[in-house]
Amino acid sequence: MDTPSIRSVLADGEVGARVTIEGWLRSARHSKGLSFLDVTDGSSMAGLQVVAPGELDNYDPEVRGLGTGAAVRVRGELVESPGKGQRVELRAQELEVVGDAADDYPLQKKRHSFEYLRTIAHLRPRTNTLAAVFRVRNVAARAIHRFFQERGFVWLHTPILTGADAEGAGELFEIEGGEAFFGRPTRLTVSGQLEAEIGALALRNVYAFGPTFRAENSNTSRHLAEFWMVEPEMAFCDLRGDTELAEAFLREVLTAILEECGEDMAFFDERIEKGVVASLEHIVKTPFEHMTYTEAVQRLEQSGEDFEHLVSWGADLQSEHERWLTETLVQKPLVVTDYPSAIKAFYMYANDDGRTVRAMDVLVPRIGEIVGGSQREHRHDVLAEKMKAQGLDLEEYGWYLELRRFGSVPHAGFGLGFERLVQFATGMANIRDVIPFPRVPGYAEF
């Protein structure tokens, strides 16, 4: 706690200054009577080069025997670095080995496959790539809070355990003995939205940002059983206001990543996904395009493309359609609005045309849908009718309907999968590599 971070030494350390740093060896090169140690403490992609001379009391055999992974505390003087790409290096005057690394330390200085790293989730945050991912993740999360807090939104902790009916949101994790404990079958939440509506109808603007769950047995690079969701909800707000917020939100969070994670983003651009930085910069600078679902379907039908899935009004857009719209047709982020009611949830506001609802999806190049939102149905009788038509238990949803009897107002919100965002920002291919402890079928260690 008392020593400066390596990030700050690299940025601000003055030549001639005496400093003490602590960290782990990313690599060690020992030549005759001189050792070069690349020391990191996880605060930055670049490590600090430590030059340890043979004159150190413990040079032989201790320092000379140091290998990757060992923890050290080094006191010395910052000197100009002759090396390329580093301003200063540390000439050691004292070097304490705080913790050695056993010879079978798995993270030697070579590339490991991400699959392999997933099997050592307790060590992988020490790799360049995963440490960079978790730093970007942190900056994204911080930017999300900042975005909402600056606008007066209240962070509302919606419940994880819930006895509420599941509005057909897919497979749920059930709690063993939940009924005995809570008096009703209890599941892990799939979304904080309905509870966020409670908050919005009291505090006006709120957001949930917490873990959500799906028990789907999907062994893909895009699914997690446990993931974090961002879900703002605004009272006195319609679909237009909702869309404006989503655009400003994406722009601000991606800007924060570009500005605050320059070093890490350069790494991702070079090693993980060429062009990822340019693609984020493009999104940040470009006004989003808007189009109704009906127009999108027309464009797709006229495209002459040979899609795998048929395009027709009333069917949900598939990933290939979404990507064609945003990547080929408009070549920028695209907000698609007013989807057919039949393919959207019961709580979305019914348009006057009788067949569409005020839903919106934000599509971005490379991944397609990144945000999904809607204006909520705030008219009591319309909502009750829709719920009946979908066979929902009105009693079970009594509280949700009651919100529409007491000072009901137009309100709207959206949901964003946080890991999807981090995956998009970093270009990481597998969503399991953007969350510290992925939960997927067959895997929940730790």
The span from the CA of 422 to the CA of 141, in Å, is: 9
Figure out which of the listed residues 12, 55, 80, 174 binds a copy of itself, where binding follows CB under 8 A: 174
Q: Residue 390 Cβ, how far from a copy of itself at the closest point, in Å? A: 19
Site for a copy of itself in 65-124 (CB under 8 A): 69-71, 73, 98-102, 105, 121-123
Figure out which of the listed residues 30, 51, 77, 173 binds a copy of itself, where binding follows CB under 8 A: 173
Q: Residue 178 Cβ, how far from a copy of itself at the closest point, in Å? A: 7
Q: Residue 39 Cβ, how far from a copy of itself at the closest point, in Å? A: 11
Segment interacting with a copy of itself, rule: CB under 8 A, options 75-83, 192-200, 354-362, 368-376: 192-200
Residue 319: closest CA among 387, 175, 221, 206: 221
Choose between 317 and 434: whose C-beta lies nearer to a copy of itself. Answer: 434
Q: Which residues contact 445 (CB under 8 A, 6 or more apart)?
A: 121
Question: Token digits for 263?
Answer: 């070093």
Q: Is 62 helix (H, G, I), strand (E, B) or coil?
A: coil
Q: Residue 139 Cβ, how far from a copy of itself at the closest point, in Å? A: 9
Choose between 130 and 325: whose C-beta lies nearer to a copy of itself. Answer: 130
Please name the amino acid found at residue 389.
A
**Beta bridge mates, 236:** none
Residue 232: closest CA among 418, 419, 416, 422: 416
The span from the CA of 437 to the CA of 444, in Å, is: 8
Choose between 71 and 329: whose C-beta lies nearer to a copy of itself. Answer: 71
Site for a copy of itself in 230-249 (CB under 8 A): 234-237, 241, 244-245
Segment interacting with a copy of itself, rule: CB under 8 A, options 183-191, 288-296, 315-323, 333-341: 183-191
Q: Which residues contact 272 (CB under 8 A, 6 or more apart)?
A: 129, 426, 427, 428, 429
Site for a copy of itself in 287-316 (CB under 8 A): none
Q: Confirm if 195 and 203 have CB atoms less than 8 A apart.
A: no
Q: Which residues contact 108 (CB under 8 A, 6 or more apart)?
A: 68
The span from the CA of 124 to the CA of 346, in Å, is: 42
| Count of residues in contact with a copy of itself, rule CB under 8 A | 106
Figure out which of the listed residues 82, 287, 304, 442 binds a copy of itself, where binding follows CB under 8 A: 442
Choose between 195 and 361: whose C-beta lies nearer to a copy of itself. Answer: 195
Residue 125, interface with a copy of itself (CB under 8 A)? yes
Choose between 4 and 368: whose C-beta lies nearer to a copy of itself. Answer: 4
Any idea what DSSP says for residue 47? P
Site for a copy of itself in 421-440 (CB under 8 A): 435-437, 439
Question: What is the torsional sign of CA 297, 301, 306, 308?
Answer: positive
Site for a copy of itself in 147-166 (CB under 8 A): 149, 152, 154-164
Site for a copy of itself in 362-421 (CB under 8 A): 378, 399-400, 402-410
Figure out which of the listed residues 108, 138, 219, 390 binds a copy of itself, where binding follows CB under 8 A: 138
The span from the CA of 435 to the CA of 130, in Å, is: 9
- The single residue listed with the structure tokens 């798995």 is 106
Choose between 36 and 443: whose C-beta lies nearer to a copy of itself. Answer: 443
Q: Confirm if 388 and 394 have CB atoms less than 8 A apart.
A: yes
| Number of other CB atoms surrounding residue 47 within 10 Å | 22
Segment interacting with a copy of itself, rule: CB under 8 A, options 29-37, 75-83, 194-202, 369-377: 194-202
Q: Residue 42 Cβ, how far from a copy of itself at the closest point, in Å? A: 4
Choose between 111 and 285: whose C-beta lies nearer to a copy of itself. Answer: 111
Q: Confirm if 9 and 78 have CB atoms less than 8 A apart.
A: yes
Question: What is the torsional sign of CA 201, 202, 205, 211?
Answer: negative
Segment interacting with a copy of itself, rule: CB under 8 A, options 54-62, 129-137, 270-278, 311-319: 129-137
Residue 135: closest CA among 1, 260, 255, 309: 260
Choose between 180 and 310: whose C-beta lies nearer to a copy of itself. Answer: 180
CA atoms within 13 A on the CB side of 406: 9
Q: Residue 213 Cβ, how far from a copy of itself at the closest point, in Å? A: 8
Burial of 100 (0-12, 13-18, 19+ CB in 10 A): middle
Q: Residue 140 Cβ, how far from a copy of itself at the closest point, in Å? A: 10
Figure out which of the listed residues 10, 13, 23, 28 binds a copy of itself, where binding follows CB under 8 A: 23
Q: Residue 85 Cβ, how far from a copy of itself at the closest point, in Å? A: 22
Residues 201-220 as x/- pattern, contact with a copy of itself by CB under 8 A: xxxxx----xx-x-x-x---
Choose between 330 and 345: whose C-beta lies nearer to a copy of itself. Answer: 345
Q: Residue 191 Cβ, how far from a copy of itself at the closest point, in Å? A: 12
- The single residue listed with the structure tokens 């590599």 is 433
Q: Confirm if 420 and 367 have CB atoms less than 8 A apart.
A: yes
